[in-house]
Structure 1
Amino acid sequence: MIRFRWLLAAAMPAVLASGCGSGTEDLARRAAEEFTAAVAAGDAERACGLLTERARQDAECSSLDLPGGAVESVEVWGDAAQARTSADDVLFLRELTSGWRVAGAGCAPQGERPYTCEVGGP
């Protein structure tokens, strides 16, 4: 019985860590989906509300002209994430105390150089 408790206690951190990853990814995906849906609907006010403050300063919120598209994949690294859409758009997200926000949108790779983004950046 003691051995079983020790094994359970030793395995618990790994189980908890694996569960947290998928929950975090779901939250980042939800933020990316809300943003792309707002862009697709032409709701610039809602889209701008989902940007980080820094990205909002860079954006022309009255007329966001971004590709949008459905979110196809999300990768999370701690408090940062990258989402790819069906419109070949790349979004960069950051986890803030207020939740996940879009830090960069309309981003495209530049080979060995950093991504360039229409709004904000990586």
Structure 2
Amino acid sequence: MRRASAAALLTDLVCVVVFCTLGRRSHAEGLTVAGVAETAWPFLTGTLVGWALSRGWQRPTSLAPTGIVVWISTVVVGMLLRKLTSAGVAVSFIVVASLVTAVLLLGWRAVAAGLRRRQSA
């Protein structure tokens, strides 16, 4: 169980970094480690908050509640921290961030669930 939890948490964190990297690239911002870290830290914090709220280590690959709580927390906490640090939180960014992080954070869990069902059949 510990290995599955660690792998799921790492997958979530990588998904958030991928989201931030793609966002920086699409806006022609520098793809430096420092730049990605600056963009990612609010969302990574939100991901960790979501893991704590959902007790993600108990059901790390479940779509609900873990995946949904982690996704919502990633977006909400991430946007609140961006607002508090005077970073951009335009409505269009909130929409795009919500959609992309949903695909990433919920998508890998949906694929994992499908693979588990297929293996048990």
Q: TM-score, normalised by structure 2?
A: 0.36
Q: TM-score, normalised by structure 1?
A: 0.36
Higher helix share: 2
Higher strand share: 1
Larger Cα Rg: Structure 1 or Structure 2?
1
